[in-house]
């Protein structure tokens, strides 16, 4: 199957006129980089008006294109592999109509990363929208909501992997990320949503039971294979990376450029974080500033990744091509100071917990603290107002990804060692080995503030590798007043 995907990738590159890019990959060419057209496109957007974002997401079995590959009878929103990005402001209300046109699966919507209510017709993952049903969501953002990139996807237990893998995921942007930096007000704003797709010989997506997290697949940016982006030398652009696929890791490198991360998981940092490589586990987001290099052609790649002896091996591939050309842009300074972010290590802890990620020796039967997910059981009860410290341990032979709904956390330690404080996140990679290489001994330590009244109610925490989530590596938490 890997050869099938490779041959299709070659066809895609030919159709885009990009096979010649390889001669310059990772290098600066001398003089002009003319001859390239920009093929990159931001996803379509639905923008809030007068404080309300009205949208309909209709699921249907339809034929659609992923890059230049045709898919038969896949399930997507509104007939699009890359559905609209929902763009709003803090304090806005999302009024979302979900139409389930699937014949055999229930579904729902989770607004990943939003700090909103889990109750009623809000961001409630315990809702089941049955085949043929329509459901109206009303999700209110607090006026103090963080700005940045978030995303939406189904959270139907047992079907999450299949539905997201078909393409049922899209972006959410809360405006205001660059407000503290007036010099950046007019820079280009690019959204790069990463998904991978595996299409069988007959043009169909594999059924749920046949999905394999380790298979070769076509990795896309906004549904495009290796699109070309343009930039002028010295120009600053905002790139919003979102890993909105089901299972795959990305480790991003932009040849010849430093990526200056200003936000993680929709949370602005307290400082600029220069990065040569950005690890994006499933569901993670990174928002970076990119300054155009000398005239030339550069590649945005994801490096080869091993997720462990019980995990998967992913090959390196090119995601996009950056062309720097034209006269140098007027120089715009990088932000020198950021708004303060409270360091939760200075606050008193109400309680500590150990959350153990577990699976059997064959890489299956996933569990948390010895229990597989049961939506009728509450596993963790927390009091509103408490700050808790959680140690998340990985007792397996592969990577896992810790995510909690409705709020963000601060990572304080990885494998018991203190890490620098730059801000909050809602998603974190959990290593499978400690720093001495002992498999099944990896850990991360988190400070989690259960302080915002909007989160009162029941929601979940889990591994965001959706194969693992569907397999039982999820638990229910209830925040009580």
Structural domain span for residue 252: 2-20+179-324
State the pLDDT confidence band at 15, using cuts at 50, 70 and 90: very low
How many degrees, rounded to 5, is the angle at CA 38 between CA 37 and CA 39?
A: 105
Residue 33 has a pLDDT of 53
Q: Is residue 272 part of a domain?
A: yes
Tokens 């979940």 label which residue?
460
Work out the average pLDDT over 378-389: 98
Q: Is residue 32 part of a domain?
A: no
Are the C-beta atoms of residues 237 and 53 closer than 8 Å to each other? Answer: no
Alpha carbon distance 288, 253 (integer Å): 12
Q: Are residues 358 and 283 in the same domain?
A: no
Q: Are residues 266 and 282 in the same domain?
A: yes
Per-residue tokens: 267: 């949370």
Look over the chain and give the mean of its residue pLDDT values, rounded to a whole number: 91
Q: Is residue 244 part of a domain?
A: yes
Q: Are residues 304 and 390 in the same domain?
A: no
CA neighbor of 94 nearest in space, from 120, 74, 119, 123: 123
Name 243's bridge partners: 194
CA neighbor of 282 nearest in space, from 397, 401, 363: 401
Domain boundary among 174, 209, 240: 174
CA neighbor of 330 nearest in space, from 291, 358, 359, 388: 291
Q: Is residue 313 part of a domain?
A: yes
Q: Is residue 275 part of a domain?
A: yes
For 236-291, what is each residue's pLDDT tens digit? 999 999 999 999 999 999 999 999 999 999 999 999 999 999 999 999 999 999 99
Q: Is residue 26 part of a domain?
A: no
User: Residue 465: is its pLDDT beyond 50?
Assistant: yes
Q: Is residue 89 part of a domain?
A: yes
Domain boundary among 115, 150, 174: 174
User: Residue 421: is its pLDDT beyond 80?
Assistant: yes
Residue 1 has a pLDDT of 35
Q: Are residues 139 and 189 in the same domain?
A: no
- Number of structural domains found in the chain: 3
For 402-415, what is each residue's pLDDT tens digit? 999 999 999 999 99
State the pLDDT confidence band at 204, using cuts at 50, 70 and 90: confident
Residue 67 has a pLDDT of 79
CA neighbor of 105 nearest in space, from 72, 126, 129, 81: 129
Q: Are residues 208 and 261 in the same domain?
A: yes
Stronger pLDDT, 36 or 199, i.e. the higher one: 36
For 285-318, what is each residue's pLDDT tens digit? 999 999 999 999 999 999 999 999 999 999 999 9
Tokens 């990885």 label which residue?
414
State the pLDDT confidence band at 457, using cuts at 50, 70 and 90: very high
Q: Is residue 38 part of a domain?
A: no
Q: Which residues contact 440 (CB under 8 A, 6 or more apart)?
A: 394, 395, 396, 397, 432, 433
Domain boundary among 125, 154, 174: 174
Residue 209 has a pLDDT of 65
Q: CATH code at 16?
A: 2.60.40.420
Cβ burial of 316 (10 Å; 0-12, 13-18, 19+) is exposed
């Amino acid at each position: 199957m890997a050869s099938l995907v490779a041959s299709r990738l070659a066809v895609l590159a030919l159709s885009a006129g990009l096979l010649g890019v390889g001669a310059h990959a990772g290098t600066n060419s001398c003089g002009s980089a003319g001859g390239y057209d920009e093929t990159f496109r931001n996803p379509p957007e639905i923008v809030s008006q007068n404080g309300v974002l009205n949208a309909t997401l209709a699921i249907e079995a339809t034929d659609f294109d992923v890059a230049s590959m045709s898919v038969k009878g896949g399930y997507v929103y509104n007939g699009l592999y890359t559905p609209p990005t929902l763009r709003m402001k803090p304090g806005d209300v999302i009024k979302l109509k979900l139409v389930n046109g699937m014949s055999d699966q229930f579904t729902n919507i989770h607004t990943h990363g939003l700090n909103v209510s889990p109750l009623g017709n809000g961001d409630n993952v315990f809702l089941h929208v049955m085949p043929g049903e329509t459901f109206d969501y009303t999700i209110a953002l607090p006026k103090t909501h963080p700005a940045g990139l978030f995303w939406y996807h189904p959270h139907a237990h047992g079907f999450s992997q299949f539905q997201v893998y078909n393409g049922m995921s899209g972006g959410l942007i809360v405006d205001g990320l660059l407000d503290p930096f007036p010099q950046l007000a007019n820079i280009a704003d690019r959204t790069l949503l990463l998904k991978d797709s595996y299409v069988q010989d007959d043009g169909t997506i594999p059924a749920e039971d046949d999905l394999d997290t380790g298979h070769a697949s076509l990795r896309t940016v906004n549904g495009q294979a290796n699109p070309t982006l343009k930039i002028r030398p010295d120009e600053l652009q905002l790139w919003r990376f979102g890993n909105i696929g089901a299972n795959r890791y990305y480790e991003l490198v932009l040849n010849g450029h430093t990526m200056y991360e200003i936000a993680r998981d929709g949370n602005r940092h307290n400082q600029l974080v220069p990065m040569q490589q950005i690890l994006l586990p499933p569901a993670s987001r990174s928002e970076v500033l990119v300054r155009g290099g000398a005239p030339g052609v550069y590649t945005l790649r994801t490096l080869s990744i091993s997720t462990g002896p019980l995990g998967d091996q992913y090959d390196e591939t090119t995601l996009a091509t950056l062309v720097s050309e034209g006269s140098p842009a007027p120089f715009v300074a990088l932000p020198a100071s950021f708004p303060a972010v409270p360091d939760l290590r200075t606050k008193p802890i109400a309680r500590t917990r150990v959350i153990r990620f577990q699976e059997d020796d064959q890489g299956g039967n996933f569990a948390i603290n010895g229990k597989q997910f049961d939506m009728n059981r509450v596993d963790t009860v927390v009091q509103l107002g408490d700050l808790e410290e959680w140690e998340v341990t990985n007792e397996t032979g592969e990577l896992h990804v810790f995510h909690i709904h409705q709020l963000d956390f601060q990572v304080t330690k990885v494998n018991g060692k203190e890490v620098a404080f730059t801000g909050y996140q809602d998603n974190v990679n959990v290593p499978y080995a400690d720093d001495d290489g002992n498999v099944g001994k990896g850990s991360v330590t988190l400070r989690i503030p259960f302080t915002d009244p909007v989160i009162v109610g029941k929601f979940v925490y889990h591994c965001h590798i959706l194969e693992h989530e569907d397999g039982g590596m999820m638990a229910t938490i209830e925040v009580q007043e």
